[in-house]
Amino acid sequence: MSGLLAGKRLLVTGVITDASIAFSVAKISQEADATVVLTGFGRLSLVERIAKRLPSPPPVIELDVTSEEHLAGLGDRVREHVDGLDGVVHSIAFGPQSVLGGEFLNAGWEDVSRAIQVSTYSYKSLAVACLPMMQSGGSIVGLTFDATKAWPVYDWMGVAKAGLESASRYLALHLGKQGIRSNLVSAGPLRTMAAKSIPGFEQFEDAWAERAPLGWDLSNQEPAARAVCALLSDWFPATTGEIVHVDGGYHALGA
């Protein structure tokens, strides 16, 4: 991977543990010679501690994607460390317990709207907040879980991901003229903090273990992270509005 991201200045959101997909993205990006700035949500000292486990501990900026104040100040905070951005990684999702785990019919709008604000709308908010730093174009990459299907326990998070997939296509439409690409990686199930908060997540684990044509390692974030890095690199210069599946081939199967 050495050199793949040489000269790239990247903003990576979503690190909370070293199992976070974003942690692997940051690690592989640094190994590929990128300069990385992280953002952390809430537990900043924890994120800073985790960041020290990266090959070259990056700065951590506080960012709650639902805070207008944080979004408005993001540019100034990022410029304290890099003079612009070539890539932005959105690795953020949240849904209150009531919107997951089979409660689709009972979830109320307040909780559903929170899930959509954090997991869907924030993709646009983050992109817009970063635009002034992307004067020479660049690449925005997010993470989805295949939203073309209804999954047993994913419920309103699935709806939020369907919205994210659409939002990525609209960002591709609206930012293309500025040379900015927007793509998603659709990952198979991975044992992260977000995944552990989904009641019944083991149903996904069993399904992937049994059926993914290439097999699937629930504890290996690297394949998804590598795809993110590839989309951040110059090797997909004419690809935007795309969803790259990194799921062992599961999505290609029939029932």
Site membership for ligand NAD, residue 228 (CB under 6 A): no
Site string for ligand NAD, 128-147 (x = CB under 6 A): ---------------xxx--
**Rounded Cα–Cα distance for residues 252 and 220 (Å):** 21
Tokens standing for 237?
A: 């210069």
Site membership for ligand NAD, residue 72 (CB under 6 A): no
Site membership for ligand NAD, residue 26 (CB under 6 A): no
Site membership for ligand NAD, residue 239 (CB under 6 A): no
Order of strands across the sheet with 9-12?
60-62, 35-40, 9-12, 87-90, 138-144, 180-187, 243-246
Tell me how far the alpha carbon of residue 235 is from its chain's centroid.
Answer: 19
Q: Which is nearer to ligand NAD, 59 or 176 (CB)?
A: 59
Site membership for ligand NAD, residue 16 (CB under 6 A): yes
Q: Which of 10, 41, 116, 225 binds ligand NAD (CB under 6 A)?
A: 41
Q: Which of 94, 151, 216, 250 binds ligand NAD (CB under 6 A)?
A: 94
Distances from the Cα of 52 to the Cα of 8, 12, 57, 195, 244, angstroms: 21, 15, 5, 24, 30
Tokens standing for 211?
A: 């059926």
Q: What is the DSSP letter of 127?
A: H
Site membership for ligand NAD, residue 116 (CB under 6 A): no
Q: Which is nearer to ligand NAD, 77 or 137 (CB)?
A: 77
**Rounded Cα–Cα distance for residues 159 and 91 (Å):** 17
Q: Which is nearer to ligand NAD, 67 or 137 (CB)?
A: 67
